[in-house]
């Protein structure tokens, strides 16, 4: 197992060097690994909020367009899930327009720092009503710790983007947890310009999203270009997809979180951790944020004692 000297990597980042290139060379790969994505994004935490504060009108135009698409599919009482929420900037930009009547707003990211910054941003941007419905947690796109068909609407905004080579496994997970509709605001390699495709190749961005979705049983309802793009070489398209299991009828159970190792229900023990009776694994809650990654589980074989303490 490789040791990532984070102090050294952060020093490279602070000097303005290309951390992504350094990590690829260190790992001996040409693609973005899960660890390299986590480190790169964690180092950048706060930068998206800074950008938005400096470009409020441009950001508003973009989130207004995204909200107009999402509002077509979100209904009162829905549970929505934002995959790869980052610093919750886009989520906060669309929530007051699209999620006013939803029951719960779930969102996750790989990076702890991004979620911490995001919670601070949400406190400034969201109403108290929406803030109380917001439920951030740490997880991986390719291993979403939620029960099957537990989320009415699943969406993303440039979260799948750096995951070239993992398109199928990520879409498989998104389709598994989605009940009604999947809306992915992601770049389209096939619709991009030649210069844009070169950039996507260099950065290890996804491609063939529509093809993967259809092969997995999803139905592409629409692909809508978002006109207010922040980067013309990385245009955003809304991929509106009906997931393959949308016809399955499931009730709105009280439990939605699932053990990422077994996909069986998780129960919360006080404000300290989530626990799986099936796998006998515990997942900590850090700064109010559940850490629901399979590689960070804690062996906990005596549930009777945990119940007593609770």
| Residues 36-75: tens digit of each pLDDT | 989 999 999 999 999 999 988 888 999 999 999 999 999 9
Average pLDDT of the chain?
93
- CATH H-level superfamily of 56-242: Vaccinia Virus protein VP39 (3.40.50.150)
Single out the residue of 251, 246, 248, 283 nearest to residue 267, CA to CA. 283
Residue 252 clears pLDDT 70, i.e. is over it: no
pLDDT number for residue 249: 57
Residue 297 clears pLDDT 80, i.e. is over it: yes
Axis crossing angle, helix 34-44 with helix 112-125, rounded to the nearest 10: 40
Pair of tokens at residue 241: 């997809």
Residue 87 clears pLDDT 90, i.e. is over it: yes
**Cα–Cα dist 101/63, whole Å:** 18
Contact indicator for 149, 177 with CB cutoff of 8 Å: yes
Confidence of residue 308 (pLDDT cuts 50, 70, 90): low
Q: Beta strand pairing status for 236-242 and 178-187?
A: antiparallel
Domain ranges of the chain: 6-49, 56-242, 267-309
Residue 246 clears pLDDT 90, i.e. is over it: no
Residue 93 clears pLDDT 80, i.e. is over it: yes
| Mean pLDDT, residues 106-112 taken together | 97
Residue 309 clears pLDDT 60, i.e. is over it: no
| Mean pLDDT, residues 66-91 taken together | 97
What is the signed CA dihedral for 167, 105, 35, 272, rounded to 10 degrees?
Answer: -140
Confidence of residue 29 (pLDDT cuts 50, 70, 90): confident
pLDDT cut 90: percent of the chain above it: 82
CA distances from 288 to 33, 89, 106, 137, 255 (A): 27, 19, 14, 9, 18
Tallying the residues shown for the chain, one arrives at 310
Q: What's 140's DSSP letter?
A: B
Residue 153 clears pLDDT 80, i.e. is over it: yes
Residue 180 clears pLDDT 90, i.e. is over it: yes
DSSP bridge pairs for 185? 157, 238
Neighbours of 255 (CB within 10 A): 13
**Cα–Cα dist 308/310, whole Å:** 5
**Cα–Cα dist 139/54, whole Å:** 29
């Amino acid at each position: 197992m490789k040791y990532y000297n984070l102090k050294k990597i952060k020093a490279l980042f602070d000097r303005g060097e290309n951390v992504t290139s350094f990590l690829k060379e260190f790992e001996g790969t040409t693609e973005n690994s899960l660890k390299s994505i986590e480190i790169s994004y964690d180092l950048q935490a706060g930068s998206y909020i800074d950008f938005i504060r400096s470009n409020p009108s441009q950001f508003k135009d973009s989130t207004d367009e995204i909200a107009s698409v999402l509002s077509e599919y979100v209904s009162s009482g829905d549970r929505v899930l934002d995959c790869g929420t980052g610093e919750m900037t886009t989520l906060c930009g669309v929530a007051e327009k699209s999620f006013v009547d939803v029951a719960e707003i779930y969102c996750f990211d790989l990076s702890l720092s991004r979620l911490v910054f995001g919670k601070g941003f949400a406190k400034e941007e969201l109403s108290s009503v929406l803030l109380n419905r917001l439920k951030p947690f740490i997880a991986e796109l390719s291993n979403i710790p939620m029960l099957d068909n537990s989320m009415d609407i699943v969406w993303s905004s440039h979260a799948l983007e750096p995951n070239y080579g993992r398109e199928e496994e990520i879409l498989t997970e998104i389709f598994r947890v989605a009940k009604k509709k999947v809306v992915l605001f992601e770049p389209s390699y096939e619709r991009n310009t030649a210069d844009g495709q070169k950039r996507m190749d260099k950065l290890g961005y996804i491609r063939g999203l529509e093809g993967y979705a259809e092969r997995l049983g999803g139905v592409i309802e629409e692909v809508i270009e978002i006109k207010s793009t922040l980067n013309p070489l990385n245009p955003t398209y809304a991929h509106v997809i009906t997931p393959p299991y949308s016809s399955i009828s499931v009730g709105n159970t009280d439990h939605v979180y699932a053990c990422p190792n077994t996909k069986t229900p998780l129960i919360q023990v006080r404000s300290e951790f989530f626990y799986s009776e099936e796998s006998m694994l515990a997942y900590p809650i850090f700064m109010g944020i559940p850490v629901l990654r399979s590689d960070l589980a804690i062996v906990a074989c005596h549930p009777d004692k945990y119940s007593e303490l609770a």
